[in-house]
Structure 1
Amino acid sequence: MTNNATSIINNLPRENKKKILLVINCLQGGGAERVVLTLGQGFYELGYEVHVLRFKPRVEYDLNPNLIYHVLKFRLYKKIPGAQRRDKFFARTVDRYITKKIGQPDVILSNLDRSDSVFSYSRLPNIVYVIHNTLSLLYKFQQADIGHQKKENFTKIYSKNPCACVSNGVQKDFLENFGDITPTIAIHNPIDRDCIRKLGDAFVPEYENYIIHVGSFKEAKRHDVLLRAYAKTDQSLPLLLLGKGKLKNDIEQLVVELNLEDKVVFLGFHENPFPYIKHARFKVLTSDWEGFALVIAESQVLGTPVISTDCPSGPSELLPQNNLMPMRDIDAIAAKLSLAMKNSEQFHSEFNEALLPITIAKKYIEFASNCENIGKKA
């Protein structure tokens, strides 16, 4: 669509515009939350009136002024006994609010399990769940004590509406664990190239010639594997860790145990991590699982080389084989780190413009339309 056409559509009266609703529990600190805002911009560029509904008021991102925001607090319903009963009551409130305050959206995209559970009780049409994670690994389906119940609950939820998975790996995991319970598709996360480039120029970090890791201190990111591998190199470049999380104290202690205090820098959480990524010699990822691995595509936008573990979803869909490492293999990761420290440019890879927000938004519209047509035929 041309800029002129988009401008004409965006100037139409509200009642003449098609509507998109993106729903998520909150807008604080996570990759899925950032994806909602980026995807919303893609729909806006297509000429849609874009609404974002969340269940907690707290925000940690700059809110895109092109989107319309709503808060409907779930906290008020926590006193209702029973999780399913609670979500069912709240879903009725959500349906009434959407109908009254927004009108009937052409597509509703539900993001993450809190929203997904609520919308499994919704009576509104054209709902699509966006599956952001490799669910079997995140929720430990293999553990008999808690995993089996989680899997049963998710089967009930995700059988209700079509599911768009953020990578081929996430879709594969979904089908292997739930079977063909609903229409599915793999649609990669959107990347706002121009915004990331602008943010990357916001400042110049005080550090030079360093390795960067960006990610929360949580189990999936395997900072412990990264540090043990890094300790086996000559540490010719310092390692900067950007993020926050519940395992940070454990990782700080491991740094001491490995005598890396002079080589590892804890940067804390930064709302804008992009200057640190842009000025790094290379980015490293040592995760056991990802959904899409946003930070890889974002690094490619900024021209920063990336090496990553070949975890079940995400990295292999974004990087050449040469840039990948086996998961949890400390010696192999150490060897790849050493190669990158000597010559990081051999791990440079180009950003794929098919990930731009307007392109990804079109894929969601097409999927939702196809699912709607299937439903009408049925």
Structure 2
Amino acid sequence: MNHQRIAFVIEDLYGGGAQKSLLYTADQLRQRGHAVKVFTLRDKVEHRLPDGLDIENLAVVTRLTKATSTVLTEKWQARKVQKALETWRPEVVISCSCDKITRHLDWPNLYFWIKSDVSAKFSDPAAREKAFAKVRRFYGGRKVIAVSKGVKENLEQVVGLEAETIIPIYNPYEREPFVAMADEPLNLPPGVEKGRYLLSVAAIEPRKRQDRLLRAYRQARDEHGLDVPLVLLGKGKPENEQRLKAMIGELGLDDHIHWLGYTANPYPYILNALAMVLTSDAEGLPRVLIEALLLHTPVISVDCPSGPKEILTQELEDFLVARDDEAGLASALARMAEAPVTIEPRHYQQFLTQNVLPKFEALQSGSA
């Protein structure tokens, strides 16, 4: 294998799935013998940093630059990044979550890693077109990595992006770390048994559509005899949490839904769930579904853009429901409780590290 020098550029390493997957990808490429360096634009770190991974803070995002954010400021910041790259001389540069700055870079093998589906984030036509125009301005004629095939298709067909190339590459995963984290103690509420509860792990926010889940769950109980509790993990803004709590009461589900808030380690709950449920309006490539499969926990999802239909393949397609089909979702919940699907390695092979990293390694040659 031809070892390369690969640089990642990201604003910070504070929380978030994009930061988590970038650190993991960078470290795995390092372990495969590549020279890898992560450049951050400000010193804000929450994630555990892998031992041995080279990380350099360029300190170009400050309170002052945020207060005076203009194109001139962005170009000044980009010049600082450019200088660091010229010093280190990577063969491939991957930008993530800081593209308003890195779009000004002049680098021959610069890729922009897009993790979400902008086409599904806006209902207002004016706001939607403004967002689309921004995407076309940032990435037109550039090289793009899309986190899923669905994100690639929507960028091309819905947003109208004419990029130099758009390469779909999944986030890479290893099963063993999730199994180890899932082996930690599990603290279930009274009356909730291992293997006999449905689970939702999601931020409490409108896009995650807990309202859709609650109505379908109530319908499954009323019309299909569903008799397993629903466990919710997640937190949100106070007004969103209050709205969710009120809806649980209005639907008469206080005795059947257990909202446990946020937990730093959700994996024991995922491992022991009957099934994981996702009801979002939009995703990029929902980690929670993949992580459930890695723990051999079945999944139920609405077919939102994008990602779920690439995860629920083979016989799992029977539990992929149209986004607004709450009756179909209720049926899927009841069917899964009655006859849970057995998850096997073939259901998640395409997301495993050994199958994903070669696509990153092929970026220099353009054969990814």
Local SS of the residue matching 1:240 = strand
Distance 1:99 1:367, change over 3 A: closer
Query: Aligned to 1:194, which of 176, 180, 186?
Result: 176
Following superposition, the deviation at residue 333 of structure 1 comes to 0.9
1:109–1:127 contact (8 Å) kept in structure 2: yes
- Aligned residue in 2 for 1:172: 153
Contact 2:147 2:170 in 1 (8 A): yes
The two structures have a TM-score, normalised by structure 2, of: 0.88
Instruction: Give, in whole Å, the separation in 1 of the partners of 2:341 and 2:317.
Output: 15
Give the Cα separation in 1 of the matches to 2:63 and 2:105: 18
Aligned residues: 352
Aligned equivalents of 1:42, 1:237: Cα separation in 2: 40
Matched with 1:328 is 324
* Cα separation, partners in 2 of 1:312 and 1:147, compared to 1, 3 Å: closer
Aligned to 2:351: 355
* Match in the other structure for 1:303: 296
Alpha carbon RMSD of aligned pairs, Å?
2.4
TM-score if structure 1 supplies the norm length? 0.85
Residue in 1 that maps onto 2:215: 228
Deviations 1:190-210 (A, max 9, x none): 112121121111223335221
- Name 1:111's counterpart in structure 2: 96
Contact 2:139 2:161 (C-alpha < 8 Å) held by counterparts: no
CA contact (8 A) 1:306 1:348 kept: no
**Secondary structure of 1:233's aligned partner:** helix
Deviation (angstroms), 1:346: 6.1
SS in 2 for 1:78: helix
Partner of 1:270: helix, strand, or coil?
coil
The letter for the 1-side match of 2:327 is D
Q: Which runs of 5+ in 1 are unaligned?
A: 2-8, 10-16, 373-378
**Counterpart pick for 2:275 among 271, 278, 282:** 282
Indicate how the Cα distance of structure 1 residues 229 and 299 shifts in structure 2: closer, same or farther if over 3 A, else same.
same
Within-5 A mapping of 1:48-127: 48-73=34-59, 74-78=61-65, 81-100=68-87, 103-112=88-97, 115-127=98-110
In 1, are the aligned partners of 2:141 and 2:162 still within 8 Å (CA)? Answer: no
Superposition deviation, residue 75 in structure 1? 2.1
Counterparts of 1:307 and 1:361, CA distance in 2? 28
Q: Which moved more, 1:220-229 or 1:257-266?
A: 257-266
Q: Cα–Cα, structure 1 residues 23 and 82, in superposed 2: closer, same or farther, change >3 Å?
A: closer
Say if 1:38 and 1:192, in contact at 8 Å, map to a contact too: no
- 2:26 matched to 1:44? no
Shift of 1:72: 3.2
Equivalent residue in structure 2 for 1:255, among 248, 254, 260: 248
Question: Gaps spanning 5+ residues in structure 2: where?
Answer: none
Preserved CA contact (<8 Å) 1:210 1:238: yes
For 2:107, the aligned partner's letter is L
Matched, 1:34 2:20: yes
Query: Amino acid of the residue matched to residue 241 of structure 1?
Result: L
Equivalent position amino acid for 1:180 in 2: E
Question: Is the alpha carbon distance of 1:347 and 1:254 closer, same or farther for their aligned partners in structure 2, counting shifts above 3 Å?
Answer: farther
1:155 Cα deviation after fit: 0.9
